[in-house]
A and B are shown apart, each in its own frame.
Chain A
């Protein structure tokens, strides 16, 4: 008998109504300069950690804004806080503060520590 194998496909569509914005709102409130990111990617291009491991700083904004807290938590740890991204950012965003706020805030909103 042939096995048709119905696979359950995980939702790929972003369902924005399910978005939990608490961490995002806290970060934006404490660091409003983060609102003007235009995702140019200069930060990721210059990142010291990016040379050694796959770490995309620009994506942190995206993950935060789509509520992908689990991936955010494991990714954010890779940052060495060297500050090169801030020297490159054309919008003058205070990126190191964003990273520290996420690291602190995630303890509150994501109790599952891997």
Chain B
């Protein structure tokens, strides 16, 4: 009987630990976030959360979509164990004719209750328990196998494990086999088993002196449970309880902010280290294998994150849609970068010295963006289009203009970025404009999310041009060119603008759809968010992406970001043009010439 103590101590320990730590986290939330919890606790939002917990934490629907075998493995362990506990309790309550049963009685049911079940309901419950255990064991088998051959699960890589993880993993994998053996042995002795445990027990009885094994096996079962509970705080399995808390808070509208808080800690602990984020990370192409989200979250949790890992990420966001827990991976990284660089934010006092041009009154402001000045064809095309459509605009950043501030934010210099934002905001608001059109998606994201510009509509030029087209203010002329469109990270995943550029390109060119696009699009490699990567590594990433684009045999690559354009144009394998350039060219009905195809220059004929 005393074998229940390891389990009981373990369970008490982890319960207390969870209550305390979740309590600390929630109490550290801001006032607004706490009031969000209060206001939404008794609303349908909680039901939404329960639904999400059922679909994702138990059934792992997202993982099923990625790969059915992987989904089955996670589901069998999570849902199976959940059902074992629930049905086990029902079984115990049913058998002992009581509405509540102490935990150890339910968990070690087959030890304590040695008579087989006589009622139909009892028999059904017992059989269900056996089947559920097999269900879980099938998942455990798959988990063993995945360590050895992960490709079958649609994953190319598995996470590296440290000591806490290894102990928890091993004990988790042992819990169910031990339970199965213990129940079977008890069935063999007392004949209280069901459809699977009974035959197994009988088989064992015929081979071994099973009465010697009964107590050791129940001790082993209890011990592995205890070990699992004790190891949980230092392992990835914290995600099991913390994920539930996360889902509730997220449904109440709480999001990761710019400061480390209880909520960001909750997200960090919710990472199950499933490793699905590893495969979509393009850093693998340049043999950088230790800076992906799963590893950075682990280091943040263990408070030993280094700048080399934290800043070596393109913030492309490809890992985010794949995360089965729906963690805000980019924002978590930015928040940590803010923490890491907080001691050296500049104050940009010089912005106040009045050197900038006075803002004229205008309806439309055109902010080209820092990078766009190095791709002047984009600015020229936009100016031509504005002129053709009869729009009066002000080219705000023709000269003497501060950067939009997002490159600073991406590397964590948030306080510094706020200075630039405030400066630019004043200039924008002073014009009385109603519309701000930008050519650079990096600028677009920050103008949209972090600049408070009341009464001003912020649009990327692809949105703006689509509106002009729909209003019949732009001539339409289809060019006979096969074009593939590269989704810029900050415009696509970053701002959910996928369709507008495509609708435009469909009208003006022959747009060729690709396999990896929209939410699954690649990053060009030129990202400003990564300050550690070297030029040759960026070139490698870009070349891999281009090889895939070239397989569609396009005449041209279209994009909507000057940084992407510059990055792809370096390779000279495929002509790259911005959407604005394509439209302007089409409208002026000029032939588009590809820079790489160097036609023979005019050669004076030599007569002889």
Chain A residues in contact with chain B, CB under 8 A? 33, 46, 48, 51-53, 77-84, 87-88, 92, 94, 96-97, 100, 103-104, 106-107
A94 contacts B535, CB within 8 Å? Answer: yes
A80 contacts B407, CB within 8 Å? Answer: yes
Q: How many residues on B have C-beta within 8 angstroms of the other chain's C-beta atoms?
A: 37
- Given A52-B350, A96-B411 in contact, is the A83-B400 Cβ separation under 8 Å? no
- Given A97-B532, A100-B411 in contact, is the A83-B348 Cβ separation under 8 Å? no
From 526 to 582 in chain B, residues with beta carbon under 8 angstroms from any chain A beta carbon are 528, 531-536, 563, 566
Q: Which of A79, A81, A107 contacts B343 (CB 8 A)?
A: A107
Known A82-B403, A92-B535, A100-B411; 12 more pairs at CB < 8 Å: A51-B400, A52-B400, A77-B347, A78-B348, A81-B403, A82-B371, A82-B407, A83-B563, A87-B563, A94-B532, A96-B411, A96-B531
Cβ of B119 < 8 Å from any Cβ of A? no
Q: How far is the CA of A94 from the CA of B531 in the complex (A)?
A: 7
Q: How far is the CA of A104 from the CA of B566 in the complex (A)?
A: 29
B455 → A minimal CB distance (Å): 27
Cβ of B356 < 8 Å from any Cβ of A? yes
For the complex of A and B, list the 9 residue pairs with the smallest distance between their C-beta atoms, beginning with the closest. A92-B535, A53-B350, A82-B403, A77-B346, A80-B403, A82-B370, A97-B531, A103-B344, A51-B400
From 363 to 405 in chain B, residues with beta carbon under 8 angstroms from any chain A beta carbon are 370-371, 373-374, 399-403, 405
Q: How far is the CA of A96 from the CA of B401 in the complex (A)?
A: 19
B531 contacts A80, CB within 8 Å? Answer: no
- Given A81-B413, A97-B532 in contact, is the A52-B402 Cβ separation under 8 Å? yes
A78 contacts B350, CB within 8 Å? Answer: yes
Cβ of B351 < 8 Å from any Cβ of A? yes
B490 → A minimal CB distance (Å): 13
A83 contacts B528, CB within 8 Å? Answer: yes
User: What would be 27 A-B contacts, judged by CB atoms less than 8 Å apart?
Assistant: A33-B535, A46-B373, A48-B403, A51-B399, A51-B400, A53-B350, A53-B353, A78-B346, A80-B402, A80-B407, A81-B403, A81-B413, A82-B407, A83-B370, A83-B407, A84-B373, A92-B536, A94-B531, A94-B533, A96-B407, A97-B311, A97-B531, A97-B532, A100-B341, A100-B531, A104-B307, A106-B344
Quick one: closest B residue to A84, CB to CB? B370
Quick one: closest B residue to A80, CB to CB? B403
B564 → A minimal CB distance (Å): 12
Most chain B CB within a 10 A radius of its CB, from A48, A51, A81, A104: A81
Cβ of B355 < 8 Å from any Cβ of A? yes
B180 → A minimal CB distance (Å): 53
Cβ of B420 < 8 Å from any Cβ of A? yes
Contact with A along B83-121 (1 / 0, CB 8 A): 000000000000000000000000000000000000000
B502 → A minimal CB distance (Å): 27
Tell me which residues across on chain B come within 8 A of A48, comparing CB atoms.
370, 401-403
Tell me which residues across on chain B come within 8 A of A52, comparing CB atoms.
350-351, 353, 355-356, 400, 402
B contact face: mostly helix, strand, loop, or mixed: loop
Tell me which residues across on chain A come within 8 A of B400, comparing CB atoms.
51-52
Tell me which residues across on chain A come within 8 A of B307, comparing CB atoms.
104
B572 → A minimal CB distance (Å): 16
Q: How far is the CA of A18 from the CA of B344 in the complex (A)?
A: 28
Quick one: closest A residue to B528, CB to CB? A83
Tell me which residues across on chain B come within 8 A of A80, comparing CB atoms.
348, 402-403, 405, 407-408, 420
- Given A96-B528, A103-B344 in contact, is the A84-B535 Cβ separation under 8 Å? no
Quick one: closest B residue to A77, CB to CB? B346
Q: How far is the CA of A82 from the CA of B343 in the complex (A)?
A: 20
Q: How far is the CA of A55 from the CA of B588 in the complex (A)?
A: 41
Q: How far is the CA of A103 from the CA of B346 in the complex (A)?
A: 9
Tell me which residues across on chain A come within 8 A of B373, comparing CB atoms.
46, 84
Tell me which residues across on chain A come within 8 A of B566, comparing CB atoms.
87
Tell me which residues across on chain B come within 8 A of A53, comparing CB atoms.
350, 353, 355
B418 → A minimal CB distance (Å): 13
From 486 to 521 in chain B, residues with beta carbon under 8 angstroms from any chain A beta carbon are none
Tell me which residues across on chain B come within 8 A of A94, comparing CB atoms.
531-535
A83 contacts B371, CB within 8 Å? Answer: yes
B532 contacts A81, CB within 8 Å? Answer: no
Q: How far is the CA of A79 from the CA of B401 in the complex (A)?
A: 13
Tell me which residues across on chain B come within 8 A of A100, comparing CB atoms.
311, 341, 411, 531
A75 → B minimal CB distance (Å): 11
Tell me which residues across on chain A come within 8 A of B532, comparing CB atoms.
94, 97
B407 contacts A87, CB within 8 Å? Answer: no
B355 contacts A81, CB within 8 Å? Answer: no
Q: Which of B346, B401, B531 contacts A51 (CB 8 A)?
A: B401
Q: How far is the CA of A53 from the CA of B350 in the complex (A)?
A: 7
- Given A46-B374, A52-B350, A96-B531 in contact, is the A104-B403 Cβ separation under 8 Å? no
B371 contacts A84, CB within 8 Å? Answer: yes
B531 contacts A87, CB within 8 Å? Answer: no
A111 → B minimal CB distance (Å): 12
Tell me which residues across on chain B come within 8 A of A106, comparing CB atoms.
344
Q: How far is the CA of A56 from the CA of B351 in the complex (A)?
A: 16
Q: How far is the CA of A83 from the CA of B371 in the complex (A)?
A: 8
Tell me which residues across on chain B come within 8 A of A92, comparing CB atoms.
535-536
Most chain B CB within a 10 A radius of its CB, from A33, A48, A84, A88: A48
Quick one: closest B residue to A96, CB to CB? B531
Tell me which residues across on chain B come within 8 A of A46, comparing CB atoms.
373-374
B583 → A minimal CB distance (Å): 24
A14 → B minimal CB distance (Å): 27
Q: How far is the CA of A88 from the CA of B535 in the complex (A)?
A: 13
Q: How far is the CA of A107 from the CA of B338 in the complex (A)?
A: 17
Tell me which residues across on chain A come within 8 A of B353, comparing CB atoms.
52-53
Q: How far is the CA of A79 from the CA of B408 in the complex (A)?
A: 10
From 427 to 473 in chain B, residues with beta carbon under 8 angstroms from any chain A beta carbon are none
Tell me which residues across on chain A come within 8 A of B356, comparing CB atoms.
52
Tell me which residues across on chain A come within 8 A of B420, comparing CB atoms.
80
Q: How far is the CA of A52 from the CA of B348 in the complex (A)?
A: 10
A81 contacts B411, CB within 8 Å? Answer: yes
